[in-house]
Amino acid sequence: MNTLSSLEFKRSTWQTAIMLTLGFWLSASLVLDWVIMPSLYFAGMMNEANFSTAGYLVFWNFNRLELLSATVVLTAVLAISKTKSNWPLGSIALSGILLTVALLDTYFLTPQMCALGANFSLLTSNLVPPTMNLLHSGYFLLEALKLVAGGILLNLYWREA
C-alpha cells in the first residue's frame, strides 16, 4: 500500500504549461487557417470592400494571443533548461523560432496585407495585387514552420512527461 500512496506525479508545472499552451496555440492556428479563413473566402467576403479591415481585426486579436503563447512557451523552456542539466538545447532554439514567427506575423505580415488590401478608390475594381500572393505564401511558409517547430516541442515535452 505504501508504494501506491508514495507514487508522485513527476511532471513539472512548466511542462504542463508548455503542453497546454502549445496544444491550444497549434489547434487554434489550424482552426483559423483551415476553417475560419476559407469559410470567409468561400462566402464571398474577399469581394467586399472592408475585407482587409475585417481580416486585420481577426488577425490582430489572434496575433496577440500568439505572442502571449510564444512568450509562455519560451519562458517555460528556459525555466526547464535551467533546472535540468541534461535537457536538449534545441528546445530553446525551437521556442525562439516560435517567438520569431509570432513577431513576424504580428508586426510585418498582418499590417502589410491589410495595407495592400485596403481599397481607397470607389471607381476601381477590387483586384488582388500580385504582392498579396507573395505575402500569403510567406504567411503559409511561416505557419508551416510554426506547426513543425511546435509539433516537435510538443512531442519532446510529451515524451518527457
- Higher-confidence residue: 118 or 55? 55
Residue 40: CB atoms within 10 Å = 16
Rounded to 10°, the helix 51-83/13-31 angle is 160
CA dist., res. 91 & res. 141, Å (int) = 20
Has residue 7 been placed in a domain? no
CB-based burial label for 91 (10 Å; 0-12, 13-18, 19+): buried
Work out the percent of the chain whose per-residue pLDDT is above 70: 88
Domain extent for 122: 13-160
What DSSP state is assigned to residue 10? -
* pLDDT of 85: 78
Q: pLDDT by residue (tens digit) across 92-115?
A: 999 999 999 999 999 999 999 988
The pTM of this model reads: 0.87
CA dist., res. 144 & res. 142, Å (int) = 5
Q: Where does the pLDDT of residue 86 fall: very low under 50, low under 70, confident under 90, or very high at 90 and above?
A: confident
Question: In the chain, how many domains are there?
Answer: 1
Has residue 4 been placed in a domain? no
Q: Where does the pLDDT of residue 54 fall: very low under 50, low under 70, confident under 90, or very high at 90 and above?
A: confident
CB-based burial label for 98 (10 Å; 0-12, 13-18, 19+): buried
Q: pLDDT by residue (tens digit) across 19-41?
A: 999 999 999 999 999 999 888 88
* pLDDT of 89: 87
**Sequence-distant (≥ 6) Cβ neighbours of residue 15 within 8 angstroms:** 76, 80, 157, 160, 161
Work out the percent of the chain whose per-residue pLDDT is above 90: 58
Has residue 1 been placed in a domain? no
Has residue 33 been placed in a domain? yes
Has residue 129 been placed in a domain? yes
CA dist., res. 159 & res. 140, Å (int) = 28
* pLDDT of 46: 72
